Amino acid sequence: MLNLTELLTQNMAALSLTQVLVTIASTVMLGLIIGFTYYKTTAAGDYSQALFNTMVMLPILISLIILFIGSNVAGAFSLAGAFSIIRFRSAPGNPKDISYVLFAVAAGLACGIGFYVYALVFTVIICLLIVVFRAVKLGVPKTDSYLLKITIPENLNFAGIFDEILGEYANNYSLTKIKTADMGSVFELSYDVILPNGTDTKAFMDKIRCKNGNLTVVLSLAATKNEF
């Protein structure tokens, strides 16, 4: 029974230099298309140069692995066993990042088995869909979730004091935490608030300041948006 080295040697011998070069050129082009789409459709705060580089390199690596293994099932399982000893550790990705990685893998697989035209066609179509989804904001929620923190003096009864204002501006709200601060001289109230897009946040905060004696009011997004 042939070992992995012998299987790889046989498959590499059957490959032509032209086939390898065409595969590499195709995957480089597709990787750059995918990476450029990611770059143009990602906000500056969410952009990762490491992910961009990964999407350019991944199709090349996947296609070369497919070329060298060929259609030999035993060789594929042997290589999978070799990869299983490598443990990859990285920061958890959001659904968008995972989708781009799978996109790059699919492009590399298609080129590795010689479907260059199909790989180019589906890469262009998916990239165009991503650009269109981004432009029309398809699936973007019509509300934003915020964390609202209000400081009030210790002598103010806070029970329901902000309900009228919150009911006017927020689609939904809930009091999540109450704590004392500054040696017990003030209370800090924390609310989870859902505001419609386009809410006049200045007017909203001004009304709260009129109620809390112009003490500190903090309104921050509860979570970072992950737009595709």
Question: How many other CB atoms sit within 10 Å of the CB of residue 39?
Answer: 13
Rounded Cα distance between 216 and 185, Å, is 13
Residue 103 has a pLDDT of 92
pLDDT digits (tens, 9 = 90+) for 44-58: 777 888 889 988 998
**Which H/E stretch holds residue 67?**
helix 49-69
* Spatial separation of the C-alpha atoms in residues 202 and 199, rounded to whole Å: 9
The length of the chain in residues reads 228
Question: Given 3-state DSSP classes, what are the helix, strand and coil percentages for the chain, each rounded to the nearest 5?
Answer: 55, 15, 30
pLDDT for residue 125: 95
Six-digit token pair at 204? Answer: 């909203």
Confirm if 69 and 5 have CB atoms less than 8 A apart: no
pLDDT-flagged residues of the chain (< 50): 1-2, 85-89, 224
pLDDT at 89: 47
Task: Please tell me the predicted confidence (pLDDT) of residue 1.
Answer: 45
Residue 216's pLDDT is 92
Q: Are 34 and 125 in contact (CB under 8 A)?
A: no
Q: How far is residue 56's CA from residue 35's CA, in Å, rounded to a whole number?
A: 6
Q: Which domains does the chain have, with CATH numbers?
A: 4-136 (no CATH), 143-221 (3.30.70.360)
Q: Full-prediction pTM beyond 0.85?
A: no
